[in-house]
Structures are given as structure tokens and as C-alpha cells.
Amino acid sequence: MPDRTAEELDLPRPTAAPLHGYRGSPDAAGELPKNLSIAISRDAGARGEPVARRVADRLGWQLFNQDLLEYIAQEGSFRQNVLDELPVPAVEWVEHQLRELQKKQNLSNNPSIVQLARAVLALGAQGEVVLLGRGAGYILPERSTLHVRLVAPLGDRVAFTAQWLRLTDEEAAEEVRQRDQRRTDFVSTHFHRKTSDLQQYDLVLNSSRLGEEMCTDLIVQAAKAKAFAMQPDESADEPA
């Protein structure tokens, strides 16, 4: 998307990353971030964008949708600014995680995908972000990420897409089909995963049955529970 600027995308400016966003030392690049991230994957037309926005608003976290993630991955100077704002241990964690992805999960060697993974990991190093699409849930570590999948019946997805993009039913059906195929191919080609594998998600929600508000409530509750579970057990350090 080289023809779109950060201002046109409403891209948030990089801010200094809080030091508490990373737990570890310069020698412990394998340590996980302290703060949780939420990665939302979705069927085309399953209301991913409005639900992700509601979740981010409810938690007071930054939302990075597909367009923003693509922009950060492609815009080298902005991506470097994000990395430059991280403390040294967090940068080392990013590079360590990237190497692990390439070695253990066969992450694509496509330069644009490597840069995408680096950008997503940099955001995940800070935590308290909602990431929509671009395989974020396959990039970030399971322990510090709530990976959500939004699904819905095809008819409802077509109807939502027709209203959202102002298309005819026939045009919307084709748009949904193409988007689903592109996303399936993207995940399969670059992350060697199947979007249909439900075991890789923490939470799978039917947005048609539950609605946007209830999906938001459930994601927020799950995020708070998982964030609590991430915290170190201080009682373990207390003398018996």
C-alpha cells in the first residue's frame, strides 16, 4: 500500500514503550512479555473489524487492523521507529522469537512476511494491543496472546458484506468467497497453518448468534482472565 500515508490510515504515532511491557533481562531474550496481546482472526464478513474496535475501546488498547499492520510492515522507517522505542531486552526478544518462528514453524522467507512478523512481534513485546488479521495469532507466543476466531454462517456474512461495502448480494457473495480464499492461502503459504484448525484458537465465537456486543464482552473477559494467569505467582517466593 505505498500510495497511502500514515495520516490517511489514521496510524498512531509510535510512543515510548513502557519498560514494564517486557519481563526479563538483556541476557534473557527468550522471556515473554508481561502484558497480553489480542489477535483476532475471522471469516470474511464475520464482523471482525467492529468487534476488534469495540474490544480495543473497552480495554483502552491500541487497535492495529489489517491495513495498519501491512503499512507498518512495508514502511521501513515507521517500523524502525517502533523498534527503536523498545528497550534493548525487548528488541532482543523480538529477534529471538523471529528466529524461532523461522526455525520451528517454517515461517516464510518472503522478505515482506519477515518484516510483517518483526513488526507484529514488536507490538506484542509491548502488549496491550489488539491485532486484526495478517496472521498475528500465528506469529505471537501462545502464552502472552489471546487468539480469537470469529465465525458466522455464510448467508449472514454475505448480508453483512453487502451492507458494509454497499454491494449487491451476488457481488457480496463473490467478495466473501475471494477474501476467504486469500486469507486461507496467506496463512497456509506463509505460516503453514490451516485456519480451519480450531485447536489453535483460545476462543471461537459465532458473531451472528452472539452479536457484536456479547462477542466483545466474552473477549474482554477472556483477556482479563488470561492476563491474570500470565502474572507471576508471588506466593511461590514466600517462605513456607
Highest mean pLDDT of the ranges 22-31, 103-112, 173-182: 173-182
Q: Answer yes or no: is 209 within a domain.
A: yes
Q: What pLDDT, on a 0 to 100 scale, did the predictor assign at position 32?
A: 65
User: What digits encode the pLDDT tens for the residues 88-105?
Assistant: 888 889 999 999 898 877
Q: Answer yes or no: is 162 within a domain.
A: no
**Is 161 or 33 the better-scoring residue by pLDDT?**
161
Give the Cα separation of 78 and 57 in Å (integer).
24
Q: Is the pTM of this model over 0.95?
A: no
Which three cell numbers, joined as nine digits, stand for 6? 500514515
Q: Answer yes or no: is 173 within a domain.
A: no
In CATH, what number is assigned to the domain containing residue 74? 3.40.50.300
Pick from 41, 88, 2, 80: nearest CA to 183: 41
Give the Cα separation of 39 and 145 in Å (integer).
7
Give the Cα separation of 52 and 151 in Å (integer).
13
Count the Cβ atoms, other than its own, within 10 Å of residue 168.
Answer: 9
Task: Give the mean pLDDT of 220-227.
Answer: 95
Q: What pLDDT, on a 0 to 100 scale, did the predictor assign at position 19?
A: 35
Which residues are CB-neighbours of 132 under 8 A, at least 6 positions away?
Answer: 40, 42, 48, 49, 52, 63, 64, 65, 66, 69
User: What digits encode the pLDDT tens for the residues 20-48?
Assistant: 344 444 334 445 688 999 999 999 999 99
For residue 106, what pLDDT band results from cuts at 50, 70 and 90?
Answer: confident
How many Å from the N-terminal Cα to the C-terminal Cα in the chain?
59
Q: Answer yes or no: is 50 within a domain.
A: yes
User: What digits encode the pLDDT tens for the residues 65-76?
Assistant: 988 888 877 776
Give the Cα separation of 132 and 81 in Å (integer).
21
Q: Answer yes or no: is 168 within a domain.
A: no
CA atoms within 13 A on the CB side of 35: 20
Pick from 149, 130, 122, 120: nearest CA to 37: 130
Q: What pLDDT, on a 0 to 100 scale, did the predictor assign at position 2?
A: 39
Q: What pLDDT, on a 0 to 100 scale, did the predictor assign at position 30?
A: 45
**Is 125 or 81 the better-scoring residue by pLDDT?**
125
**Is 16 or 185 the better-scoring residue by pLDDT?**
185
Q: Answer yes or no: is 4 within a domain.
A: no
Give the Cα separation of 126 and 16 in Å (integer).
10
Burial of 47 (0-12, 13-18, 19+ CB in 10 A): buried
User: Domain containing 112: what range?
Assistant: 26-153+198-226
Q: Answer yes or no: is 203 within a domain.
A: yes
- Please tell me the total count of domains within the chain: 1
Which residues are CB-neighbours of 102 under 8 A, at least 6 positions away?
Answer: 109, 114
Q: Answer yes or no: is 182 within a domain.
A: no
